[in-house]
Amino acid sequence: VVPRAAAARLRRILAGEQIRVLPEWLDAAAEHGFRVPAQALPDLLERGRGDRMLRPSIARASGRRGVWLALQNTDWAYLVGAGDDPGGGPEVWETGTRNRRVAYLTMLRNTEPERARELLRETWAKEPAPDRAAFLATFEHGLSLGDEEFLEAALEDRGKDVRQIASDLLARLPGSAYGARMAARARGCLAPVARTVRGRRRTWIQVEPPHAHDEDMARDGVPFHPSGSFAPRGAGGPVGTRAAWLREILARTPLSTWTELFALPPMEIVCLPIGAAAAEPSRQGDAVSESDGRDVHIGWAKAAHAQRDGAWARALLKGGVMVDEPDALADLLSVLPAGERDAAAADLIRWVQGRSDLLRVLERVPGPWTGPLAATVVATLTASAERPTQRDDHLVTQLCRLADQRLDPAAAARLDPLVARGDAAPRAVTDMIATLRFRDEMLKELTP
């Protein structure tokens, strides 16, 4: 179990002191191989009843004793299935609840994916649609070409969620027939074109969004109205249906399609100018078409995130791309190696500085915020706190609400000058500094 000081702090947290740091306490304890003290488990499991986001952290830190307790009390049964322990052996698949069966299938997918697939195949036709969707989602573990036949069949399923999960998984499967179909569609939308601009021969990307939607596109997970259709663009115009189809197709196309087609590395591809097809002369010429550029880059960003492609993520984050959804770029940070994330996140924050996107982007950047990212966040907080405008007050409050849980606790010392000023520091800043110091002590207590 955890050291005595850490157990005492957990009691304080469960009593309401700095309650928002509870997930971090649980995750840090589990990371260091500690388990929640037995006497704290009932209070912790009770808290998890009303907080779904907390349940995976509880499962990781409560261990077998937590699972045993959950099996004794139906109010706590949520825990069985929230973690990696299904609370039993093969009998769970035959008689367990959906959550326990998902946990069992996930465990098998991590060790014997073929066996897990065959177990599901045996019962597939008898499972209700919500269960089929939950079980199919476990295929993200141990995904391989051996799953392709099963997933292709699931594209015809009656359940909408089942079809969506199947298409999403196939889009992440290298070498699949699904990937080849999407690549064929995508190559019909983007093509390299040699143009002479100011006397220089250059390669452009010519864009021709799909002209029509068909049943084959729908079967492969490209809906008639993709998410974002007709939503406002950053540049002011709407994202029309054809543009939304283009984004969706690119998001589902293997990124190797483009390195093969352009015979260039990702960084050089994302820097190529983008223009409309010749059929739209009003949108071509020497200038890059911003709308087409946004559609292409947002599609590539979503593909890089889904395919976990570090080279493309790095290129999109560093290539000065045109994206009207900066949070899509923020999602790419999780694809980068850990050593690159803070610097890349800091660059992204500086890019959206002063825009309403800042908080949306930061919300998608997980902690701990260290190095250049921590320095950028501290600088942003300091500059905003020194400007007594209503807009800056709101930014400081919201940013502190995020930073107190994610900022490296060592950054508290860098914020002390704000508190030491003659005029009163914003309450949000003083509260954040107190939380950072609480977290610093907490993490030291959990470090062996």
> pLDDT by residue (tens digit) across 148-166?
999 999 999 999 999 999 9
b/e map 250-286, b = 16+ CB within 10 Å: bbbbbbebbbebbeeebeebbebebbbbeeeeeebee
Domain membership flag for residue 255 = yes
pLDDT at residue number 286: 39
pLDDT score of 41: 96
31 lies in a domain?
A: no
Q: Is 103 found in the same domain as 45? A: yes
Could you tell me the CA-to-CA distances from 365 to 105, 313, 330, 368, 369 in Å, in that order? 30, 14, 7, 9, 8
In a domain, 32, yes or no: no
C-alpha gyration radius of the chain: 25
Q: Is residue 22 part of a domain?
A: no
**DSSP category for residue 426:** P
Please give the order of strands across the beta sheet that includes 274-276.
190-197, 200-207, 274-276
Instruction: Say if CB 136 and CB 105 are below 8 A apart.
Output: no
* Residue 26: inside a domain: no
Instruction: Report the number of distinct structural domains present in the chain.
Output: 3
pLDDT recorded at residue 186:
98
CA distance 315 to 321: 9
Residues 304 and 367 in one domain: no
Instruction: Give the residue carrying structure tokens 């109205």.
Output: 225
- Out of 177, 203, 226, pick the residue that ends a domain: 177
Q: Which of 144, 177, 210 is the last residue of a domain?
A: 177
Residues 317 and 270 in one domain: yes
Least Cα distance to 247 among 200, 300, 325 occurs for 300
Same domain for 331 and 403, yes or no, is: no
In a domain, 354, yes or no: yes
What pLDDT does 322 receive? 67
Q: What is the pLDDT of residue 389?
A: 74
Tell me the mean pLDDT per 10 residues along the chain, length 448. Answer: 95 97 97 95 94 93 90 86 74 89 92 97 97 97 97 97 97 97 97 82 90 94 75 54 93 98 95 71 43 88 96 90 78 92 90 78 89 93 79 86 94 85 74 96 95
Note whether 267 and 318 are within 8 A (CB): yes
194 and 328 housed in the same domain: yes
Looking at the structure, do residues 223 and 253 belong to the same domain, yes or no?
Answer: yes
Cα distance from N-terminal residue to C-terminal residue, the chain: 12
Q: Check residue 394 and give its pLDDT.
A: 85
Q: Is residue 33 in a domain? A: no
How far, in Å, CA of 363 to CA of 369, rounded?
12
**In a domain? residue 9:** no
Q: How many residues are recorded in the chain?
A: 448
192 and 325: one domain? yes
User: What is the pTM for the complete model shown?
Assistant: 0.86
332 in the same domain as 191? yes
Q: Alpha helices, DSSP H only, in 73-112?
A: 91-95, 98-111
Residues 331 and 342 in one domain: no
Domain that holds residue 224: 186-336
Cα 206–chain centre separation: 30
**Shared domain check, 426 and 290:** no
Residues 352 and 326 in one domain: no
In the structure encoding, which two tokens stand for residue 273, read together? 């100018």
103 and 83 within one domain = yes
pLDDT in the model for residue 279: 40
Domain boundary among 336, 357, 372: 336
